[in-house]
Amino acid sequence: MHELSIAYSLVEIASQAADSMGIRRVDVVHLRLGALSGVVQDALLFAYEIAAKGTVLEGSRLAIQELPVVVHCSRCQADRTLPGIQHFRCPVCGEPTGQIVQGRELEIVSLEYTDPVPEPAPCRSPNGSTGKPPR
């Protein structure tokens, strides 16, 4: 199941991005997944939970946007969405094509997170005191 190694890679990339932005807990990881990526979605979702344990992504959800295969038809001079991945022919004119425009993606698009509530800064009066009683 290569989905487990893919899940660990996704978690590593998302964790590094979260760390660089000072995010302590991620709620959702948005992923674009092409029909030709070779990844089984259910296996990836299962593996993601395992890979996320003990990281800032633990308990987060992997939201997958499935992308169909889109090819460019040289006869029609247009991009066409294929109804499946069995036949690489333009669904309008039937021309065979191998010019894949979309469908191989496996990419993190964004992270959703909740900002921690910032601690309020002490109030300062014009004379420089913080408004706290002296000790």
The model's pLDDT over 22-75, given as tens digits with 9 standing for 90+, comes to 999 999 999 999 999 999 999 999 999 999 999 999 999 999 999 999 999 999
For range 98-117, the mean pLDDT:
90
Average pLDDT, the chain: 90
Q: What is the pTM of this model?
A: 0.78
How many CA atoms are closer than 13 Å to the CA of 19, on its beta-carbon side?
A: 8
Give the Cα separation of 101 and 86 in Å (integer).
16
Give the Cα separation of 92 and 83 in Å (integer).
11
CATH of domain 3-70+105-113: 3.30.2320.50
For range 88-117, the mean pLDDT:
92
With a CB cutoff of 8 Å and minimum separation 6, the contacts of 41 are: 33, 64, 66
For the chain, the structural domain boundaries read: 3-70+105-113
Give buried/exposed letters for 50-89 (b at 16+ CB in 10 A, else e).
ebbeebbbeebbbebeebebbbebeeeeeebebeeeeeee
State the pLDDT at residue 34: 97
- Residues of the chain above pLDDT 90, percent: 82
Cβ neighbourhood burial of 115 (10 Å; 0-12, 13-18, 19+) = exposed
For range 11-28, the mean pLDDT:
95
